[in-house]
Structure formats: structure tokens, C-alpha cells
Amino acid sequence: MKGAQRIDLHRHLDGNIRIGTILELADQNGVVLPATDVEGLRPFVTITTPQPGLMDFLAKFEWSMRVLATPDDCRRVAFENVEDAAREKLDGVELRFSPLFMAREHGLDPAAVVEAVADGVAAGVEKFGVPACLIGILSRTFGVEDCSRELDALLAFREKITALDLAGDEAGFPPALFVEHFRKGRDAGWRVTVHAGEAAGPQSVRDAIELLGAVRIGHGIRSIKDPALLDLLAERGIGLECCPTSNVQTSTVASYSGYPLREFLRRGILATLNTDDPGISGIDFDHELQVAAPACGLDSEEIRQCLANARAITFLEER
């Protein structure tokens, strides 16, 4: 899309670890992998066929998390994410991560992970010149108490974090459990984006907005089932961080053709195109623009509108 800014609003840096990096860190940290070369390891860390659901998709993170044995490993991954954004010719990238998810396998201090990730992103921005910001994730799958620990780790470096997110087992851990967490996040000056309407229904989206203060929604695909919610999204300017390939791979939708991106745009909703977990999905930003979006039925002007929407709702300070 010539002349349009390319900003990826929804990219998990812990879901975008290069296979070569996994191999090198495994060798460095004494982790035995199921394969010892890139092509051999690829089926274990990248989605090759649609999964039965979100939690099956998340299981693909196993080996990449096992090799993160030190804060320096986390720093490297963060730095390489910015390098990848530069290689994809992005004009900006919002990188989100769960410090507890990255820390858990080797018992790292989640605060040390936050510091390392922030340092890695800052070094990448300085070297490659791609504007980037960090979104801290609370991994609801670990439960309310562990999310409080995770929040404390993020708050220890609050000036390096731009927004707060909630991700993981959406169906098992609804937004109502995390009201106090997000009050603290908003009090810290952070914006709020919440994974909702991916593995649970429209009420999850409504609760993310009304209870947690979300100004953007990660995925939000099931909003399509509630016309009143669609009106609310449009009226309040709540952006949808749409990730078509990811949603096909998690079986949230059966196919690209069933993805309601055109309907979101038709209703005046600020829908955007994003990669989610490009390393896990085996894609890049161009794939979502050139393959996924047309398969969803978007024409060139509608794709351009998605890019314009991303620019309008980005948390990046400089647009």
C-alpha cells in the first residue's frame, strides 16, 4: 500500500522468536529440543494446520519458552523483534509480552524480564530506527494472584510500559476477575487493550470495555454476534486489533472468507490488520496485507482503511 503507514498494533514479542534463535539458545542453555535444525524444528514451533482452539495454539509456545533461561535471552529476543519490524519495513510496532510467561520455565524474576525486554527494545529502536512501544500482558491463565505478581513486575518499570493487556485463557478467566488490576494500570497512566471476543462471546468484549477500561480490543471477532455491541464499538471509537491468520489457526473462524472484517469496516468500526504471533503463525505483516486481507474479501481501499485506522489508534507517541 504505497504511501500508507504500516503499523502493527498487535504483535506478541514472545510469539515472534526466530527458529534459529531457539536453536542457538537451546545449545547455549543446555536445552534438548526435538530437532537440531531449522526445518526439523519448524513443525514443533510453528502452526502448520488449524488448531482446535486457542489453548492448543498456545501450546506451540512450549519450546520457545523453554530456551529463555536468562534475562539476557529475553533481551536478545526483544531486540530481534525490532530488527524484524525494520526488515518488514514497518513504520511502527507495538510489542506486547507477558513477563511471567517468559520467566516461568526457568524461575526468572519477572521484574528482571521486564527490564531486559525494555532494554532490548530500546536498543533495537536506537539501532534500526523503527518506532516501538511496549504493552505489558497479564496472563490470566496463571490466575488472579499470579497476575498481581506480574502487574507488580510491570509497575516496577512503569515508565517503560505504554499499555496494559489481558491475554490467555479468555473463556476460563473473564474480565470481571481483573478489575482491580486494571484500575492500578490505569492509575499508572497506561492505556488499556484487552484480548476479548476470541475464545469467548460478545459479553467478554463488553466487559473488557465497561469493567477494565479497554480503548482497544485484541481480536474482538465474536463482537459480530451482537449488533448493539458493534454500535458501541463504532460510537466510542474502540479499535479492533484484527489478526485474521491467527484466528483461522485457532479455529475462531473456519476460514478467511468467514472473517467479518468488511462488516466491521462497513459499520464504521476502527478495525485494523495485525500479525499476532508471527513466529508461531509463520507469517509477516505483508502476509496479512497481501494474502489474508484479500482472502477476507477486502479490496485495496479497505486495506488502506485498515492501515489508516491503525495510525489513528496507535499507542505510539509519534505517529
Reading the block at residue 220, the C-alpha cell is 474482538
Instruction: Name the amino acid, one letter, at 192.
Output: V
CA distances from 173 to 140, 194, 310 (A): 6, 12, 28
Residue 84: which of 313, 275, 294 has the closest Cα?
275
Q: Active site includes 198? A: yes
User: How far, in Å, CA of 210 to CA of 228, rounded?
Assistant: 14
Reading the block at residue 276, the C-alpha cell is 499476532
* Paired strand residues for 83: none
User: How far, in Å, CA of 108 to CA of 68, rounded?
Assistant: 9
User: How far, in Å, CA of 305 to CA of 121, rounded?
Assistant: 28
- What is the longest distance spanned by two Cα atoms in the chain? 53
94, 115, 170, 198: the active-site residue = 198
Residues shown for the chain: 319
Q: Given the C-alpha cell 479497554, which residue does it identify?
A: 214
Q: Given the C-alpha cell 505489558, which residue does it identify?
A: 136
Residue 185: which of 138, 139, 140 has the closest Cα?
138
User: How far, in Å, CA of 120 to CA of 73, rounded?
Assistant: 10
- What is the gyration radius of the CA atoms in the chain, in angstroms? 18
Reading the block at residue 234, the C-alpha cell is 463504532
CB 182 within 8 A of CB 212: yes
Rounded to 10°, the helix 71-87/110-128 angle is 30
Instruction: Name the amino acid, one letter, at 43.
Output: P
**Residues identified as active-site:** 198
